[in-house]
Amino acid sequence: MDHFLYRDGLLHAEDVAIPEIAAAVGTPFYVYSAATLTRHYQLFTDALSPLPHLVCFAIKSLSNVAVLKLLGDLGAGMDVVSIGEYLRARAAGVPGERIVFSGVGKTRAEIRAALEGGIRQFNVESEPEMRAISEAAVSLGKIAPITVRVNPDVDAKTHAKIATGKSENKFGIPIARARAVYAEAAKLPGLKIVGIDVHIGSQLTDLAPFEAAFTKVAELTAQLRADGHEISRLDLGGGLGIPYERSNEAPPLPVEYGQMIQRTLGHLGCEIEIEPGRLISGNAGILVSSVIWVKEGEGRDFLILDAAMNDLVRPAMYEAHHDIIPVVEAAPGTENHPIDVVGPVCETGDTFAKQRNLPALAPDDLVAFRSAGAYGAVMASEYNTRPLVPEVLVKGDQFAVIRERPTFDEILARDKVPAWL
Ligand code: LLP
């Protein structure tokens, strides 16, 4: 459920009519619903309430500081994968004790900065990284809490570009090597083993791969404890999928995911951490765009929008589906016609949808891409010198621009022409 609904024939974000925001901000823009973000976060905390837990929002999915503050104030932890994301979480007021540091290529500088600033744990991805964390901790006179991310070799049955839990993927340490790595960790100075980490992929629509991975984590917990390690925390990653197509079968709910976690891991007495991104932010955001032209092609028509692949890259990059709806609700009985929905960027890949059934639209009409809150604005670029798309947050009947559209002067001022040219 989200809070983007038609009211009096106009699409609203909570109590704000989308055309009102469009008039104030111009298109294209992202708009997020505070009520939806809050609700989705709470679905996870409720689902895990029988166990000690921390829900760490994967801020790579939506990293605007205002959104992080909203979630952080509710008590959320944050999962970060770069020092830039760490600084965003801190700027949002989230204390280091609630920030976990994931990512396959943490640099020595990032490790030091996180240790100095305070960090809940590093999710270690390789032996060289583990040794670097030990060295940094010793030189700073700190103890670095760590988990080791294990790769359980489980097929997440999702898009190949976002599956991470197979042995051929770059992520984690092969689970068969885990005991040896924990043995080394126990000997290295400056490290404190706190648990195990696993993340098998994103947009999973079935609980079975999670259950297979978590079962392996339960077995490993017992083995590592028998080896004398203290395993008190299990970080289970993110990955629960969302319904992108309203017409399709809905993926499992957070409550079902929580029950499965209790069933597979509840007996171990560990604190459970999860790192959901998409399920919290995905359906909490839409991308609003205007029609520039409607163009007649050979055997097909094109709806040319002012949003493009640089603003929302998921269709071009993963063949992802996003529902596209008119902001002015079509009158009952209006006929839909198939049309290709495209952006103005000079690539054929700049196609949002082929032969999508939509009511007739005209220049300046507004449309909205649903489920665009996750991996939308964060993956935007300035390709074709198109300014980075702005972001708006709605709460009840209020809205605020939480990231401004840069001006062309700002964009051009970043380029420097050397004096010798
Ligand atoms: N934890 C780790 C270690 C991750 O790598 C990820 C996502 C998450 C948590 C959050 O996963 P989520 O709950 O959002 O599925 N750009 C792609 C998705 C990339 C996901 C990368 N890792 C897309 O637009 O579909």
Active site residues: 346
CATH number at residue 252: 3.20.20.10
The reply to whether 275 sits in an annotated binding site is yes
ipTM, interface predicted TM-score of the complex: 0.99
The reply to whether 276 sits in an annotated binding site is yes
Report how far Cα 56 is from the mean position of its chain's Cα atoms: 11
Residue 122 Cα to ligand 1 midpoint, Å, equals 17
14: left (phi over 0), alpha (psi -120 to 50) or beta: left
Of 279, 302, 336, the residue at which a domain comes to its end is 279
Task: Provide the b/e sequence for 12-43 (b: ≥16 CB within 10 Å).
Answer: bbbebbbeebbeebebbbbbbbbbbbbbbbeb
Residues 82 and 194 both lie in one domain = yes
For ligand 1, atom 2, which residue shows the shortest CA distance? Answer: 237
Q: Is residue 22 part of a domain?
A: yes
Residues 353 and 263 both lie in one domain = no
> What's the rounded mean pLDDT across residues 95-99?
98
Residues 246 and 364 both lie in one domain = no
Residues 348 and 365 both lie in one domain = yes
In percent, the amount of the chain with pLDDT more than 90 equals 94
Residue 164 Cα to ligand 1 midpoint, Å, equals 9
- In whole angstroms, give the CA distance from residue 260 to residue 7: 38
Q: Which residues pair with 195 in a beta bridge?
A: 147, 233
Please state, as a whole number, how many other Cβ atoms lie within 10 Å of the Cβ of residue 142: 15
Q: Is residue 222 very low, low, confident or very high in pLDDT (cuts 50, 70, 90)?
A: very high
The atom of ligand 1 lying closest to the CA of 281 is 14
Of 215, 247, 279, the residue at which a domain comes to its end is 279
Whether residue 199 has its Cβ less than 6 Å from ligand 1? yes
Of 226, 244, 279, the residue at which a domain comes to its end is 279
The reply to whether 108 sits in an annotated binding site is no
CB half-sphere exposure, 364, CA atoms < 13 A = 1
The residues near 212 (Cβ < 8 Å, ≥ 6 apart) are 152, 154
Q: Is residue 1 very low, low, confident or very high in pLDDT (cuts 50, 70, 90)?
A: low
In percent, the amount of the chain with pLDDT more than 70 equals 100
CATH number at residue 307: 2.40.37.10
* Number of structural domains the chain divides into: 2
Give per-residue pLDDT as tens, 182-216.
Answer: 999 999 999 999 999 999 999 999 999 999 999 99
> What's the rounded mean pLDDT across residues 154-161?
86
Helix axes 108-117, 127-140, angle to 10 degrees: 50
Q: Is residue 326 very low, low, confident or very high in pLDDT (cuts 50, 70, 90)?
A: very high
Residues 231 and 269 both lie in one domain = yes
Q: Is residue 421 part of a domain?
A: no
Range of the domain at 203: 34-279
CB half-sphere exposure, 59, CA atoms < 13 A = 34
The residues near 413 (Cβ < 8 Å, ≥ 6 apart) are none
Q: Is residue 420 part of a domain?
A: no
- In whole angstroms, give the CA distance from residue 416 to residue 258: 52
Given a cut of 90, whether residue 156 has pLDDT beyond it is: no
Residues 145 and 221 both lie in one domain = yes
Indicate if the alpha-carbon torsion angle 264, 268, 269, 274 is positive or negative: negative
Q: In a mutational test of the pocket of ligand 1, which residue from 40, 56, 60, 244 has the highest number of ligand atoms less than 8 Å from its CB?
A: 60
Residues 238 and 250 both lie in one domain = yes
Residues 97 and 129 both lie in one domain = yes
